[in-house]
Structure formats: C-alpha cells, structure tokens
Amino acid sequence: MFSRAARPVVQRAAAVSARPAPSNNYATLREIEGRLKSIRNIEKITKTMKIVASTKMNQAQRNMVQARVYGATNNKVYEEAETKPEEKGKTLFIVSSSDKGLCGGVHSSLSKAVRAKLETNPEADLCILGEKCKAQLGRSHPKNVVMSFSGVGKDVPSFAMAQSIAHEIMSLEKQYENVEVVYNHFNSPVAYEASAIDAFSEESIKASANFAAFEVDDEQLPDLREFALANSIYWGLAEGYACEIAARRNAMDNASKNAGEMINKFQILFNRTRQAVITGELVEIITGAAASAE
Amino acid sequence: MVAAWKAAGLSYNKYLAVAARVVRRSLKDEPRLKAERRGQFELKFAKWENGKQQESKPLSTL
C-alpha cells in the first residue's frame, strides 16, 4: 500500500531532476537580447529628458525667483493691512498643476493637499490649471470642479497667461468670499511642498484693520482684487513650474540610473547564457567526435 | 470719475493686457520679438457642470 502510494511522488521528483537545469529564468538568448535592447532605448529617452529638464531648470528657477518677489510685494499690502480671510462663505481653490507627467509625485502631492482641504471644507469649488490634477481630482471630486484649464506648463508661465486665467475666473457667475491658490512651494531642487496663497475678496480687504491707511477708493477695490488674483496665480504657476522641472530632472536621473543597473545585470546574464550555450555545443561536438572515432 | 476703460466695459486685467500689448508692439524690432513671445500662450478652458466637463474652448491672448 505504502510503496505504491509513494511511487508517483518519487517518479515525479526524478523527472524534475533529470531535466537539465535551466539557465536563469528559462530565458533564451534572443529574449534577453530583446530585453536588453528595449532597456537601452528607454535609458536613452530618460537621459535625453533629463538633459532637457536640466537646461530648462535654470530658466524656470530664475523666473520663479522673480515671480516670488512679485508675489511677496503683492502680499505685503495685505500683510500691512492685516487682511484676514472671511470666516464663512464660499471658497474657491485654484489648483496650479500642469499638463505633463513623468515628474515624480508633484501632481499627486498637490491633489492630496487639495483633498485634505476639501475634507474640512467640502462645499468649496475647484478651478484646476493643468490636465494632470484635472484627471486626478476630476475623478475623486467631480462635483466640486467648476472650471479647468489645459495648456499650462508647456513653457515658462507668463503674466499674460495668469491674467487671462484670472479674467475667466472673475467672470464666473458665482461669487467667492475666499480664493486660495494651491501650488507646490519650491524649497530646493529636491524638495517641494504643497502650500496655498490667499487671494482676498473685496469684503475681506475692506474689513481688514489697517486698510484705510492706503486710501484706496471703494470703486477701485474690485480692480485691486482682480489684479491681486492675477498676481497670486502667476506666483503659483511660476513656482509650480520650477518644482515640476526640478522633479522631472530628479525622476529622470533616477530612471536612467535604474536603467543602467538593469543593463549591467542583463549584460552579465546575456554573456553567461551565451557562454553556456557555447559550452553545451562544444560538449555535444566533442562527444559526437569521440563516439564516431571509436 | 470713471476711467475710460471701465466705461468701455473692460475688466482691469483686460485693460492691463491691452496696455501691455501696446507697449510690446511699440518696441524696437529686436526687443519686440523677445517681448512678444512673453505675451503669447495657448490655453484651453472648460466649464464643469454637475461633475461633467463641458466643451473646451481655446483661450487666446486677451
């Protein structure tokens, strides 16, 4: 009984060990060669993208430094006036992302920040600049989106672009008591974090403590607000663009490095397999020759 | 007193954009080409209603 039951197992084990040990992962030479080629091509692409991002980097960073000064000057007015956002009322989040991906977690960190803000303020509306965040937030919070722009982030953002975005936002029918520009703050070429700039409404500007010192006529307030909104959007766009380029450079650098490692590994595997094949053939030939000589 | 651009129904941003364009166009050739590139952009925008994106429209220079 026992011996008969055990036999099939023994037979199967013998069959497995009898088969010649497959050289790594059953891969044939041609398969490895194909993989190697495609990895090489990918490495070429990522390297080129890295170089492109590096050259754009300087320009983007310069532009961002300028935009930062610009935005800070704009904010100085409200700092001095001690303007505070309204306690209640409708809020609009302007999400400053861009159209292109392949730049690490830039867009998803922005989406995450916006989602966290929507948790505390579920009634808020969204205006999304750029395709990437539109796709992410449009899936999770489609009801909150009122407007989206695409074509952002092809080049260094210009003030003219920020202006026309601000213009479109101001011509929405709804009135917003608070407007916040959510963007990625550029800390260093390797670090960024999602932050927000307030763009105040007329009421909150008017209600601020020291605003009377500026002696601005009431009828000019809407203009001031529009201009401030354009400034904030410009700041957010410029900073987001610099972050994106920096992140893309890093991401592509890592990708090229990984590709290089993979190429090395596959090259070794390829050489070994080739050697094994040659050895196998030699053994066959020699055995054949020895057999026929006898 | 109402400014002329306001009476014409322009928003402040639009007024600024028009003014900027005029300044760019009146520059000498060399700086003008450089400056005009700053004024160009291609945007598309779309309004959303009830969680659906409406038709997107091109948004060119103001």
Q: What total of structural domains would you count in chain B?
A: 1
Q: Render pLDDT for A194-243 as a digit per residue (tens, 0 to 9).
A: 999 988 888 888 888 888 888 888 888 888 888 999 999 999 999 999 99
DSSP assignment of chain A equals -HHHHHHHHHHHHHHHHHSPPPSGGG--HHHHHHHHHHHHHHHHHHHHHHHHHHHHHHHHHHHHHHHHHHHHHHHHHHHHHT----SSS-EEEEEE--S---STTHHHHHHHHHHHHHHH-TT-EEEEESHHHHHHHHHH-GGGEEEEEESTTSSS--HHHHHHHHHHHHTSSS--SEEEEEEEEEEETTEEEEEEEEEE-HHHHHHSTTGGGG---GGGHHHHHHHHHHHHHHHHHHHHHHHHHHHHHHHHHHHHHHHHHHHHHHHHHHHHHHHHHHHHHHHHHHHHHHHHH-
Confidence at B6, pLDDT banded by 50, 70, 90: confident
Could you tell me if residue A98 is inside a domain?
Answer: yes
C-beta atoms of A168 and B59 within 8 A: yes
Instruction: Tally C-beta pairs within 8 A across A and B.
Output: 87
Q: Render pLDDT for A118-167 as a digit per residue (tens, 0 to 9).
A: 999 888 999 999 999 999 999 999 999 999 999 888 888 989 899 989 98
Residue A209: domain span? 46-252
ipTM over 0.85 threshold = yes
C-beta atoms of B43 and A167 within 8 A: no
Could you tell me if residue A17 is inside a domain?
Answer: no
Residue B27: domain span? 4-61
Q: Which CATH number do you get for residue A218?
A: 3.40.1380.10
Contact residues, chain B to chain A, C-beta under 8 Å: 2, 11-14, 16-17, 20, 38-48, 50-53, 56, 59, 61-62
Could you tell me if residue A282 is inside a domain?
Answer: no
Interface of A with B in 107-166 (CB under 8 A): 138, 142-143, 145-152, 154-155, 158-161, 163-166
Q: What total of structural domains would you count in chain A?
A: 1
Could you tell me if residue A210 is inside a domain?
Answer: yes
Nearest CA in chain A to B42: A151
C-beta atoms of A160 and B20 within 8 A: yes
**Partner residue facing A161 (CB), from B2, B12, B41:** B41
C-beta atoms of A168 and B56 within 8 A: no
Lowest mean pLDDT among B30-34, B37-41, B45-49: B37-41
Could you tell me if residue A169 is inside a domain?
Answer: yes
